[in-house]
Structure 1
Amino acid sequence: MRPRDDSAASAPEGNAAPGRAQRGIQSVEVGGRLLRALAKARAPLAPTDLAASGDIPSSQAHAYLVSLTRLGLIKRDALSGRYEPGPLALRLGLLHLAQQPALREAVPRAAALAQSLNCSVALCIAGPQGPTIVRYEHASLPLHVNLHVGTVMSLRATSTGRVFCAFLAPGALETLWATQTAQPVWRGTGNAAPQTTAASQEPAGTPLPEAAFVESLDAIRARGYESGIDAPSPGVSSVCVPVLGPQRELSLTLTAIGATGALDVRPDGAVVRALLNAAAEIAAAAFPSTPTCPE
């Protein structure tokens, strides 16, 4: 069945009469329901589930799925048959991120840090599955770790993840924690606590008690950064600092990554000082009225 398109394109927005709803293309808006349903699910969906979530009959949804796939807004996994965001959707998402003030200010500074500190530098934001790398500057020296744009970091096993746990708003953290673990959120006096995913495989062992984890998050907030040595990958260490927004919300993180022994993770070392200074500069430039260092 061909999708019905019984609406006409609207006049340019600037010419619309005040208070009047503008006409759009109904079929575009119906297709948008499928995209919205996929985004809300935060996981690949079978065609029938996607149609149901978008409140569209399966027979009608098929034509929309074909068109959205041709456009690259979604793609279908050849093995599972499930739909997930396509390359065009990802490019649009990255384009949107590039317009965000903090990320725009952070990109050139990340490149400068990678060169001056001779280490890799990752910029991460809160993605649907956890802290997600949106920019990765490679070190000149080889590093035996598979990190790239799109990598999701473990909330618990990585320094980046623990900074997210310490500074991300509790409601947002609960969502990421549930996505990564399928376990109840650990409650505490600070933010909720966490666990794992992909470049984020949690090391074997007994999870930290709730009180100990909450205490560790308080310590991260107090010093304003977190480090990791030989974790989650042996031979690789990291230092991560937050960039905070106007309401002291976590905007993004800066993470320096290098070989253990070569990366200076000392509290008063060059890497910690450089990252804290860069985070303060980013916040000052992106959010002029925002305090420049964590309390």
Structure 2
Amino acid sequence: MAQLPDTADASNATDASPERSPRGIQSIEVGGQLLTALAHHGRPLALKDLAREAEMAPAKAHPYLVSFIKLGLVEQEALSGRYGLGPLALQLGLISLQQYDPVRLATPRIEELAQNLGLTVAIAVWGNRGPTIVRVAEAPSPVHISMRHGTVMSLRGTASGRLFAAHLPEATIQAALDLEPDRLSAPELQPLQETQAQIRAAGLASAEDGVVAGVSALAAPVFDDQGRMVLSLTAIGPSRGFSLAASGLPARSLKRAAEEVSSQLGWRPRPPP
């Protein structure tokens, strides 16, 4: 005669049912709030400040920190007594970054942006001749802007090019400018440099009727954990009805998507001076 499972076994079987969300360990989730607070601030914190950020009492936070120190997830400064991320946390972070490919992370974003904005959205990376298109998501509208993989974008006439010119080292940009058909003289470079400063301040580059009449574009930068620009998210479409304003939907959507991908790559915005 078959035996019925005891109460504990029945309970475990119920918890494992796909109809229910997996049950975690609450104490680990609570302690994880301390690690999240440290990662968010990016600097060591005093016990009272760290506990406040994790929304718990210092007396409750301290035992978690002791265990985290033993594991290497947290370390305590000898002189100040402040708590920061430990060597194991840093190793895990580096391993995580190595697993992230910027283009792979950004590709689903451009598909979503193209659908929501009704514009063609592309990913451009820096190639041996300048900004190069590597992914394209076509607009769902009947009007399509033809973009091909491998297209090298002009540094002066396109939003992607202007964006890279604003964020990459001057020597790198100058070498690419020398390859373009119409080389700039020293006096002609001054307006370009002024535009680059404006682009860095705005976090966006635009091109209205740039290379092709009637076609405009907006581009937002994606940064890695070192603050280096690794690719651009560029929306392209007919100039008519395409808002290039910083407060417009295309600009806000591009910036938000670029910041989210940058955050996945370990980038953290610099605090205001």
Asked whether the 8 Å contact 2:145–2:236 carries over to 1, the reply is no
Separation of aligned partners in 2, 1:252 and 1:281: 13
Partner SS, residue 261 of structure 2: helix
Q: Which residue of structure 2 lines up, in the alignment, with residue 210 of structure 1?
A: 189
Partner of 1:180, secondary structure, is: coil
SS in 2 for 1:283: helix
Contact persistence 2:204–2:219 (CA under 8 A): yes
Q: Cα offset for 1:143?
A: 4.0
Q: Which residue is equivalent to 2:111?
A: 111
Task: Measure how far apart 1:145 and its partner are.
Answer: 4.1
- After superposition, the CA RMSD in angstroms is 2.5
SS in structure 2 at match of 1:264: coil
Shift of 1:213: 1.6
What do residues 154-213 of structure 1 show as CA deviations (whole Å, max 9, x unaligned)? Answer: 011111111010011223223322222484785xxxxxxxxxxxxxxxxxxxxx732222
Q: Match of 2:233, SS?
A: strand
Report the count of equivalent residues. 175
Query: Paired residue for 2:147?
Result: 147
Take 1:220 and 1:258, find their aligned partners in 2: how far apart are those partners? Answer: 20
Deviates more, 1:227-236 or 1:118-127: 227-236
Larger radius of gyration between Structure 1 and Structure 2? 2
Counterpart CA distance in 2 for 1:221 and 1:130 is: 19
Q: Does 1:227 align with 2:206?
A: yes
Partner of 2:221: 242
Q: Deviations over 1:108-167 (max 9, x none)?
A: 011000001111001000111111000001112244643111111101111111101001
Deviation at 1:227, TM superposition (A): 1.2
- Paired residue for 1:161? 161
Match 1:281 to one of 251, 256, 260: 260
| Residue 290 (1) aligns with residue 264 (2) | no
Percent identity between matched residues is 35
Q: Is the 8 A contact 2:223 2:265 kept in 1?
A: no
Structure 1 residues 263 and 232, CA gap change in structure 2 (3 angstroms): same
Q: Is the 8 A contact 1:155 1:165 kept in 2?
A: yes
Task: Output the TM-score relative to the length of structure 2.
Answer: 0.59
Distance 1:184 1:272, change over 3 A: closer
Q: Residues 249 and 293 (structure 1 numbering): CA distance in 2 closer, same or farther, change over 3 Å?
A: farther
Counterpart mapping for 1:36-51 below 5 A: none
2:262 partner letter? A
Relative to its length, the structure with more helix (as a share) is: 2
TM-score by length of 1: 0.54
Task: Note the 1:248-259 alignment, pairs <5 A.
Answer: 248-259=227-238
Gaps of 5+ in 2: 1-98
Q: Deviations over 1:89-124 (max 9, x none)?
A: xxxxxxxxxx86221110001100000111100100
Are positions 1:267 and 2:267 aligned together?
no
